[in-house]
Structure 1
């Protein structure tokens, strides 16, 4: 009997599900893996599975791209018959992508308990689709695993019983520590050795969908590149908008790379002097690596990276970006420390909790 049906759908999920699947296997919990195919680039998806040692999915929905509504609806339609066939005691979802809320919602409506890994994170910015996914998934989850203690306060404000919440740490950091020695050296990824460089990742609609905002960001990045070489693994969406808006000349001097696999990106960040990003996960990874991070957003759902870690919020304001960059070049930026329970054991804490929780999960669903 399958006890837990684990769901992954997009690149951010893969780094979170890898240690969970390994820990479930190690503790003897019967689990199956379902890949929704929300991330539809087969080569990149297969590369992440190979890099991280994720078992081949038992089920693949092959959903592909679409609007948020279309993609979420398609995952729900394709997930329900699999759920009915597998009949797990619980469905485990990770993160905040469309696959997360879609599968959690189907499971809840079918009376199957829902486990949410990385619960309680809040940016309090409802313009972000991920924020909607987080809030709704937490409301229908029976067991919520959190990465930082501030998440518990968020959940309590939303009326969630603390008895359903477990502080276990960050499974993404489990993956980072497990693979750090295997990370590809930056000189190999770049094809040359750079004594110092910055890494830029840029993909959020708020930064790349408006031509004026994107142009201003690329201008200040160009200024930084004149002082510290900037390496940009270029997201397809960002590349498309740069071309559509006629901004290609603004990135000519940068070191442009294609989207990278996990081990290549890990090595690139580990060896960097600075990372500039609008990604959520990279804020956490840079904190674990001790690398200064400038987040090109006005808010973050990961506040511990600001209070304990190496992260600084700068938004899309060129003046704020310049000032923070000057601080990094002058004094090395925020030193930070490793947050509590970011020790590579989060997935095992999850598995040990489930070992005691699952035998009771076959009965009536809790209120």
Structure 2
């Protein structure tokens, strides 16, 4: 486990601005046009080669090539959870300046740094045939393992059988979907991004900037979102990145929606079908829909909620944090 001093060192991410974007927050600037984020693989590898625990925030005019970048980083054995991406598409969608977006993500990454740094390279369980086909070269995949506080006695909590008959996590089977954290909440600590620390932080940003709502999106859908962000206009939505939709606690989202806040979970079943967590995601999506939350890859439905932040009374950030915490 890292010392407190080491964690403090990595709590301030490196801000990498590409494509000529200008901000006083930029730590490293790349002036040349960037047509695809995949081209940043070498730069990120170089940074992590010097310090593999560096948190990096990329600020870009485009999200094109992000999925290819994440795949290449995973193949090379890097912890891609240390990377966040924001930029022009999210500035258009939220109405926030790049500087404000950068500050927002710097705070969010610091808030979730322990989980990001704690992701483990797990060698997934495969069949004997698959093992032979790959000539024993099964690449470990960085996975956020749920934090267990007590044994889970409930059956069928994990769709991948990662919780043993004794109620403990079998890490080789865990896919990091975090479904167990809300299905068996007494046994697992909810990740900060799906519980009151992260959601309270996002709500404070929404409240202070009088935004209309929050758009929750899996990091693997950001590239698609970047192409469709303008559809939400003129609604102003705060982007909120999660490692996996399956870990979202629908109860907390329902509470947020009750504060005259538009809550939208960006999701495409077709795009998600190839995900190794698809089964868990579909179970979570059903729960989220049952709690009255909008789930769609169509952002035009958000436009009807434009200016809601200016016309409706909202819960104060301190009261919001208290209520979200009580849901745990």
* TM, length-normalised to structure 1: 0.33
Of Structure 1 and Structure 2, the greater helix share is in 1
* TM, length-normalised to structure 2: 0.35
